[in-house]
Amino acid sequence: MIALEHLHVINVIHQEGSFRKASEKLFKARSAVSYSVKQVEQYYDIEIFSRDTYRPELTRDGKILIGQIEHLLEAASQFDVFARQLNSEVEKEIRLSVSAIFPTNKLTALLHKIKESFPETIVHLDIETASGERMLKDDVVDIGIYAGLEKDTRQIHYRCIDKLELPVYVSRSFPLSNQRDLTHEELAPYPQIVVKSSYKSSPDSGIVKHALHWYVSDHQSKRNLIESGLGWGRLARHEVENAPNLIALENLETLGVPIYVARRKDQPMGPVAELIWTFFNELDESTNKRRY
């Protein structure tokens, strides 16, 4: 049987689109990458990549084979994680990141459960903005609870646990608050209050590109500036229920953001991570749509 490592190399070449990029990603010499392809082709007496093009393109047999390779590598990865989990002990520490817009009552309920079930485990809690997935991929945290408009299902396991609504809000003291159906063009001369990503740089969601932007470092500052009438911006509907000074501009599109609990596929879960993973009732997106 051919070594899984050779099949992994073929899969990376296919994903990266070139032998050079594959060798860089795998930290292997170009000759070692070519050797893996040759080993598989000779063993099964097939041609996987066409030699007639500048970039490696899958042959007819290669296109059929690559699906099976991806399936086999995924199964091997799941087996590896499962086998390592069999001997996992209670984690001495757990690293958890949570989106700043996640409902506080749900977070504290989770932390109470961790404290009750695993009193000796040290919890490292990061409240993040627009950076949950990057922190997870960079192995900065073990579990992430974050808002996600896009999903990388190749590397990350997701469970949808909530869906939040983020309308555009202004204060009653905002200069244009007495006008109905404000447009983005009318709001643009006034600062849109935006929270900077808390970890590296991340794509912004709901940013009006032609507007004036003011950036703050935390979510509470954003809310305070909006409430003071200095600017406008999106806030989670649940966090401003008892803020009579704020007005939702319902004529503008309300951003619907799914919330996921997420973990890397290549990392085994200990009992504490398992508790976090299963703490919330799983909600698929169709259920969320019915609720909101």
- What CATH number has the domain bearing residue 235? 3.40.190.290
Last-in-domain residue among 56, 86, 116: 86
- The answer to whether 13 and 33 have CB atoms below 8 angstroms apart is yes
One domain for residues 156 and 130:
yes
181 and 234 belong to one structural domain: yes
- pLDDT tens string 116-159: 998 889 999 999 998 999 999 999 999 999 998 788 888 999 99
Q: Considering 25, 51, 86, which residue would you say is the last residue of a domain? A: 86
Percent of residues, the chain, with pLDDT higher than 70: 91
CA 37 to CA 10: how far, in whole Å?
A: 6
Q: Which residues pair with 263 in a beta bridge?
A: 157
288 vs 30, which has greater pLDDT? 30
Do 152 and 262 lie in one domain? The reply is yes
Residue 292 pLDDT > 50 = no
Question: Lowest mean pLDDT: which of 36-50, 68-82, 130-144?
Answer: 68-82
Q: What phi and psi values does residue 269 have, to the nearest 5 degrees?
A: -105, 130
Q: What is the mean pLDDT of residues 198-207?
A: 67
The mean per-residue pLDDT over the stretch 286-291 comes to 44
Q: Give the range among 77-86, 87-96, 145-154, 281-290 with minimum mean pLDDT.
A: 281-290
Enumerate the β-bridge partners of residue 94. 123
- Identify which has the larger pLDDT, 282 or 117: 117
State the pLDDT at residue 152. 86
Domain that holds residue 19: 4-86
Number of domains in the chain: 3
Judged against a pLDDT cut of 90, whether residue 107 lies above it is answered with: yes
Tell me which residue of 286, 134, 208, 289 sits closest to 146, measured CA to CA. 134
pLDDT range class, residue 206, cuts 50, 70, 90: low
pLDDT at 68: 92
pLDDT of amino acid 284: 45
- The structure tokens listed for 62 are 């290669």
List, as one string, the DSSP characters of the chain. ---HHHHHHHHHHHHHSSHHHHHHHHT--HHHHHHHHHHHHHHHT---EESSSSS-EE-HHHHHHHHHHHHHHHHHHHHHHHHHHHT----SEEEEEEETTS-HHHHHHHHHHHHHH-TT-EEEEEEESS-HHHHHHTTS-SEEEEE-SS--TTTEEEEEEEEEEE-EEEETTSTTTTSSS--HHHHTTSPEEEEPPSSS----SS--TTS-EEEESSHHHHHHHHHTTS-BEE--GGGGTT-TTEEE-TTSPPEEEEEEEEEETTS---HHHHHHHHHSPP--HHHHHHH-
Q: Is the pLDDT of residue 97 over 70?
A: yes
| pTM assigned to the model | 0.67
Same domain, yes or no, for 174 and 123? no
- pLDDT tier at 56, thresholds 50, 70, 90: confident
Residue 198 has pLDDT above 50, yes or no: yes
The share of the chain scoring above pLDDT 90, in percent, equals 60
User: Do 156 and 263 share a domain, yes or no?
Assistant: yes
Task: Tell me which of 80 and 228 has the higher pLDDT.
Answer: 228
